[in-house]
Structure formats: C-alpha cells, structure tokens
Structure 1
C-alpha cells in the first residue's frame, strides 16, 4: 500500500532576507492535514514494516493533546489498520468529546485505554506490554512520540540535495527523533540547531543514541516553562508571524522554535551572510486544544 505523501511539500519559503541572514522555512506541515511533518516521516517506515509483518493493529502511547496520537489514528485509518491509544491520565476517559485531539482520534477509529500517570510510567515494561497483548491481541508497537530506528530513517529523508546550500538547519525537539534524522542527513559543513519544547537535560543523551555526527547543538532557552507551557508573549508572536507570513505555527513546537530563531537573529548569534532553514514539523492540530485552555484562563487565543 502506498504511503508516500511528501510530493505535497512546499519548500524554501522566504521569511527573512537581508544582508545579515537569510531565513527560509520548509513546509513539512503541508504533507497532510493530520499525518503531517515529522509525524509522517516517523510513521512512514513503521507502517510499511507493520504491513510487511502482517499486523493489522497499531498500538501507541500519548497524552491529551498528542500530535502523535492524532497522526497514528489518521494514518491507521488511511492504511486500514486498527489503532489503539494508551492515554496518560485516567481522568480523561469521560472528557473525550471535550478534547479536540482525542475526539479526532476516536473519529478515526482509535480505541482508547486510559491509565493513571503512575501506571503510564510503566509503559515500557515487559509486564505492561504483555498485559496489553492479553487485552488487545497482537499489535505493532509504536513508542510514545514515534521515535525508533525506523522513525530516524524516515526523518533522514527530510533534507534533500537542494538543502545543502544552507548553513544552519533548525527544528523543534520533542523526543529527539526528528533532529537525529536531520543530523544524520546533514552535510558536515552544516550546523543543526534543536529547540527543545520541554525542560530537562535527558534529550542530549537520547539524541546521541541515534545521531551519527556531532554538528548539532540544543538551544534550551525557549521552552517557555516546559512541555505545552506558553504565555501571552508566545501567542502574540505566533499570531504576528501568521499575519505577516501567512504561515500558522503550533504553540508546543514550531512556535517556540521560530521565536528562538528570531531571538538569536536579533542577538547577532548567526554570522553575517548565514542561510538558515527552519523545518516546519506540523502539529497544527494542537492549536484547537490549546485555545480551549487559553479561553478558560481568559487569555488571548491563537488565530
């Protein structure tokens, strides 16, 4: 079954073009409305492997607003797989219709199992997986966030020969799979900058497990307090960026990355004449859920 969607990608959109730096954005988010950006790249070879091995069910893990959960549900529907999502937070079981991400995944046919956060921490244990097999039958396991060797292989296809002209490649970082693929397919002369969406030093080690080169660095000052944490400054930046460039950014990943890039440019981090390519990794489905949170707090919404 064909799962090749990348022909729809728009590439190299000018964002900044001046004597000091030239910034472009690669629209990986344009691959597909729901299986977009790095989620498509991570799932591509995993789904082909699941099909080759004869599995008819995909099982994975995620939280309330997980791009990965939405992408697996949509991709499973596209390719004819049953899908199961193990969801962090048993209090969500009675709130599926109030959560845009989970409601969408359910509409795509995903079956949920809600577990407490304490139980969720055991998701990688052998006994936990065996209990899931007893409950759901045999399944193809995709880890939380989708990062594994096959995901890295898919992310290594993000950069093309056209991208060799850039001095810096920038991307948002969640589990580290996307940046690892970018590092592996980058040229030695290129520097890869990652902008983590969450706090913690563990990402350095996680990326080092998959990255085959050392031409990379994490910029850890732009997480805005941690995963899925935002403030009015970030919302204002995302809205201004969309008004000016007609490109939406998500508040969890790409919004923080672009904020960080603009801040580094303003501070003179990049040498004069630098060409920068920012990877838009998608995640736009999360805007609706974040707006629901912002509305409850009586804060400005993402447009």
Structure 2
C-alpha cells in the first residue's frame, strides 16, 4: 500500500510551467489528500475503537476512503448525510455506491442536519471514533507534515529558493498544515466550498499556535459541485495538455482560479493533486446535462 512519496509531473500551459504533486497515484483507496489526512489512523493501532463515525456529502471522496479504512480495521462505519435525492439513490457507480459496498451504514437526516452534526462529538462513545467532515481535525497534521517533508526535499533537489504551492480547499485542513510545516514557502488555496470567510473560520478552528495562514485566492463565482461550461473547458484543456486526470469537483474551480491569479505569483508553482478521481463518473454526468 503506497501512501507516501508520490512523484511530481511537469507540463507547460499558456506560457507557464506547472509542477504537479501526484498524490492521485497513491493507493486508490486513499488517493490524494485522504492518504495524508488518514495516515495517523492507518499507521496507529486503536484497539479500543470498533466503530467509525462521520458525516458529509453523498459523493464525498473522504467518505469512500473512510469506508476503506473501516473495512481494513474491521470497524463498523456509520455515516450521516442529508436526505438523498432520487438521482443519488439510483446511482450504480461513484463514491456512495462503493462505500455502501464496503459495508457503510448510511443514515439520512431529514431535519436539523447541521445542528445534529455540530453536536455529534458530544454523543460519541469510548468505542467510537469521530472523523469530521473533510477530515478537519488535528490528527490530519501527522500525514500532511510528511507531505511537507516530501515537497521540501524536492524543492531542494530543484534548487528552488522560492516555491508557490497551490492546493484546493474544502475545509482548508491540508492548506493550513502545509503552510505551518513549510513556512519558507507560500501556500495558496481557494475556497471551493463556501465563502472565503467560511474558509478562514475553518483555519481558526484548527490553529493551536501562532502561524501564518495560506493565501486565499478568492472564489466568488463558482458554487461547489455545480457544473459550469467554462470550468469544463478549462479542466479539459489542462487534462489534454498535461495528460493527467484531475478530480471533476474541486480541480475545475481550483485551476480556473489559479490561472486567473497568475499575475500575483512569481515563484515556480507546485499544484497538489488531491486525488478524488473515483468520483468523476458522477460529476461527469452532471456536466453532460449542461453541455448537451
């Protein structure tokens, strides 16, 4: 099971050179930042735990990786979501289908989903492990610190005195811990989920010591998991040029925002591929509807 030391690819696009940290090539069960966020749990024995609990979206990449973690550890896995749409229930592929095949127990909450999840930590029993949506907890730092070590070693090999690291954000966990462990470099991110203010709030919830925060390149145009024709064009061009498959939920927004802010970045750019391509079949169906 390969969970560290992903390779780095390089390609040129619109007169700029981009480097891509290929965490998508890590073990497919924990592809991308899931391998980093869950490294602590994968590498440590938790003999008192027999049930994993989490919550989030019905096509979450982390949900699928958590189902793989639970299966590997022989834990029960309980996952809370908002009420599923008829379309979601009819899907025969994608993260939800594969997670259910791994034994996930799915619980739909028709009312008060947000307040229920906010109070979930207070209900967790001693035999249960709660992993928050997006893996936004301090244990995630363990694996992201390893990612930072890999990036620093590569930058030294390339003789880069400066480096701009870009990573898409949901909760911002990966971006925040990368900036903490790579203070000599600039980490950039964008709010793929919610507003920039939401992302800053997520940073504050995780900060335990004084540290710099990542630079947020503001996304005030694109809603999360919503198909846009211009995003499809951008990500298709990027994929054809780089010969790399990217996630179709986060990466179209991330690449579009990054390309629109290149004038703010003078250092070599390392884009962190966060995996998640297993969910592309579901998102591509949404794109097909608006493009047909």
Q: TM-score w.r.t. structure 1 length?
A: 0.82
Gaps of 5+ in 1: none
Correspondence for 1:145? 134
Gaps of 5+ in 2: none
CA distance in 2, matches of 1:117, 1:290: 26
Counterpart check, 1:254 vs 2:251? yes
CA contact 2:13–2:241 (8 Å) conserved in 1: no
Counterpart check, 1:288 vs 2:288? no
Report SS of the residue matched to 1:199: coil
CA distance in 1, matches of 2:52, 2:2: 19
Deviations 1:170-213 (A, max 9, x none): 1001011101111111133x111011102321211321343553
CA contact 2:54–2:132 (8 Å) conserved in 1: yes
CA contact 2:58–2:84 (8 Å) conserved in 1: no
1:175 and 1:33, CA in 2 relative to 1: closer, same or farther beyond 3 A? Answer: same
Counterpart check, 1:244 vs 2:237? no
Larger mean CA deviation between 157-166 and 171-180 belongs to 157-166
18, 23, 33: which is aligned to 1:38?
33
> How many residues are paired up?
282
Correspondence for 1:210? 206
Once the 2 structures are TM-superposed, how far is the Cα of residue 93 of structure 1 from its aligned partner? 10
Q: TM-score w.r.t. structure 2 length?
A: 0.85
1:224 and 1:71, CA in 2 relative to 1: closer, same or farther beyond 3 A? Answer: farther
1:230 and 1:183, CA in 2 relative to 1: closer, same or farther beyond 3 A? Answer: same
1:90 and 1:287, CA in 2 relative to 1: closer, same or farther beyond 3 A? Answer: closer
Larger mean CA deviation between 283-292 and 139-148 belongs to 283-292
Once the 2 structures are TM-superposed, how far is the Cα of residue 256 of structure 1 from its aligned partner? 1.9
CA distance in 1, matches of 2:2, 2:94: 27
CA contact 1:63–1:89 (8 Å) conserved in 2: no
CA distance in 2, matches of 1:98, 1:118: 28
CA contact 2:229–2:290 (8 Å) conserved in 1: no
CA contact 2:20–2:272 (8 Å) conserved in 1: yes
Once the 2 structures are TM-superposed, how far is the Cα of residue 294 of structure 1 from its aligned partner? 2.8
Correspondence for 1:235? 232
Correspondence for 1:170? 166
RMSD across aligned positions (CA): 2.7
CA contact 2:228–2:287 (8 Å) conserved in 1: no
Once the 2 structures are TM-superposed, how far is the Cα of residue 30 of structure 1 from its aligned partner? 0.9
CA contact 2:53–2:131 (8 Å) conserved in 1: yes
Counterpart check, 1:70 vs 2:64? yes
Correspondence for 1:197? 192
Report SS of the residue matched to 2:234: helix
Correspondence for 1:115? 109
1:4 and 1:139, CA in 2 relative to 1: closer, same or farther beyond 3 A? Answer: farther
Once the 2 structures are TM-superposed, how far is the Cα of residue 293 of structure 1 from its aligned partner? 2.3
Report SS of the residue matched to 2:168: strand
